[in-house]
């Protein structure tokens, strides 16, 4: 496996990283230590925070924004989205309320990102 190029998403700079898997995932091109950690993780265990919406009955709005409280493995995103799609809530809902605990066995909760009152 040769050197991989990755664009860092840790900050708005978007550093162009080069990660060498044959040299203990050595990272070059990073503008900060976060970029070094991101470059190595992106090749060894890529993760993402998932954002979406869920259906809400009796609420002031028909949908509620949610997100994973932490990043989940990239390979689990499709399963996480299917689990989120199956959720049906009833208002009221409070911001930060756990919508799905330990989604798909990832150890990460899906939480509401806003409060929603009864209509």
* pLDDT one-digit tens code per residue, 91-119: 999 999 999 999 999 999 999 999 999 98
Q: Which two tokens stand for residue 15?
A: 């550093």
- pTM of the predicted protein model: 0.86
* β-bridge partners, 110: 68, 100
What domains does the chain contain, in order, with CATH numbers? Answer: 4-45 (no CATH), 51-112 (3.10.530.10)
């Amino acid at each position: 496996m040769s050197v991989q190029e990755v664009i860092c998403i840790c900050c708005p700079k978007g550093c162009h990283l080069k990660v060498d898997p044959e040299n203990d995932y050595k990272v070059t091109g990073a503008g900060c230590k976060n970029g070094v950690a991101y470059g190595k993780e992106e090749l060894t265990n890529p993760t993402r925070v998932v954002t979406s919406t869920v259906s809400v009955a009796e609420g002031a709005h028909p949908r509620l924004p949610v997100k994973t409280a932490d990043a989940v493995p990239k390979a689990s995103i499709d399963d996480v989205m299917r689990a989120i799609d199956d959720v049906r809530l009833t208002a009221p809902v409070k911001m930060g309320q756990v919508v799905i605990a330990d989604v798909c066995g990832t150890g990460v909760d899906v939480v509401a990102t806003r409060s929603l009152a009864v209509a």
